[in-house]
Structure 1
Amino acid sequence: MPETATHKERTRQRILDEAAAIMRVVGTEGIGVAALMKRAGLTHGGFYAHFKSRDDLVANVVDRMFIETRASLQSQISDGSEAEKLSLFIDIYLSDEARKAPEHSCPMPSLASEACRLPEVARARFNQGIQTMQGIVATSLQALGHKDPQALASSVQAEMIGAMALARAMTDEAQARQALQASRSQLKRRLGLDRETAHG
């Protein structure tokens, strides 16, 4: 019995992994149950052993994407001063690697424009993901002594999401790289991170 449960959980995770990769790149409309299950090497009918509906799948995928993104970012910025960690957070989030690999990156630049059309539960979870990520930035800003860290974090988050979305839309590789570099540089200057890390 435990082995059966473990196998079922592994299968569920495989479906979520495939769906998350698709959703980050082409949005929720790109997730067709039949094609998804085929991609995961499973039968169409097996889908309902793991999810009540397509909307249930989408809500779970949203959760998974934010959990993965948060864990990945935090694992890469665990060391250093608060200024160094926030600076590295910006560098990783707005990296050219993230631009080229939306299937492995934060879902917000890819999905923010369609979040308002997500199923109700998925939209609520997407909103929770936004607030959680914003809270991470706000905590750093508060530790660095910034006034009204929550409002500033909201502005920083919006700029990062917008910068990445625009960079991915650009057809010229050099321009896309330059746009991300400019955003990284200006954000750090605005937050005083260029001074903090230089004196660290």
Structure 2
Amino acid sequence: MGGLILPLTKVHKQETRARILEQAIFLFSTKGFDQVSIDELMSCAGLTRGGFYAHFKNKNELYVEAILNGVRKSAIATNYLKVVDDNQVLNELVRNYLAQVSTVTGPSACPLAFLVTDVANREAEVRDAYTISFKGLVKILNRIIAIEDEPKREAIARSIATLMIGGVAVGRALNDPQASQELIDACYKIAGMLAASA
């Protein structure tokens, strides 16, 4: 039956949307919002430009979804979400996060570090998504840090989150591998000292 167009199944539509989001977080993380076109994004996803609008109103909406989706699928969200009161696991989490400085960007890259400067210049809804994601990271750290004093634990969680994100963002910007490694070592050391403080 030539010319008959069958509707996409719900599963196929979800898979296609996931593929677009995966490519979006990769491209936004490596190039920034302004340097990524819808044509390039859809080509990398193996799709046509017209298919974009079946999933997103515009590139800005995609950016918001890419940030939220990227953080939900990050190693922290998938590996450490249910850990409670374990500073040894916290040390592992911080070390693994900071290792992103020397790894290639990809679906597992955390948008909090890779998009920090790009997001600062975006619209309110994009910054809202980033803020929600940052608060989510702080909650995870807050559960893992083994300190009984709740206000102190919350402050330490915020500080460690900032060290992690800032360490990766600055470390990737440096063109001196030794300076980058020294920065990462310092962030890791300070995070451990903060977590161990009683």
The two structures have a TM-score, normalised by structure 2, of: 0.84
Q: Is the CA contact (8 Å cut-off) linking 2:87 and 2:195 kept in structure 1?
A: no
Task: Name which of 140, 152, 155 aligns with 2:156.
Answer: 152
Query: Partners of 2:79 and 2:95 in 1: how far apart?
Result: 11
- Confirm or deny: 8 A CA contact 2:71 2:77 kept in the other structure: no
C-alpha contact (below 8 Å) 2:142/2:154 kept by paired residues = yes
Shift of 1:128: 0.3
Pick the structure with more helix per residue: 1
Which residue identity does 1:181 align to in structure 2? D
* Correspondence for 2:182: 178
Deviation at 1:62, TM superposition (A): 1.2
Q: Distance in 2 between matches of 1:53 and 1:79?
A: 37
Matching of residue 73 in structure 1 with residue 73 in structure 2? no
SS of the equivalent of 2:110 reads coil
Task: Report if the CA contact (8 A) 1:66-1:129 is conserved.
Answer: yes
Residue type at the aligned position of 1:183 = C
Q: Does 1:9 align with 2:14?
A: yes
3-state SS in 1 of match to 2:148: coil
Cα separation, 2, equivalents of 1:76 and 1:136: 11
Q: Is the 8 A contact 2:141 2:157 kept in 1?
A: yes
* Matched residue SS, 1:117: coil
- Residue 73 of structure 2: SS of its match in structure 1? helix
Determine the C-alpha separation between the residues in 2 that align with 1:62 and 1:81.
Answer: 28
Q: CA deviation at 1:155?
A: 1.6
Shift of 1:169: 1.3
Alignment correspondent of 1:101: 104
Verify: 1:136 aligned to 2:107, yes or no: no
Q: Does structure 2 conserve the Cα–Cα contact (< 8 Å) formed by 1:98 and 1:105?
A: no
Aligned to 2:28: 23
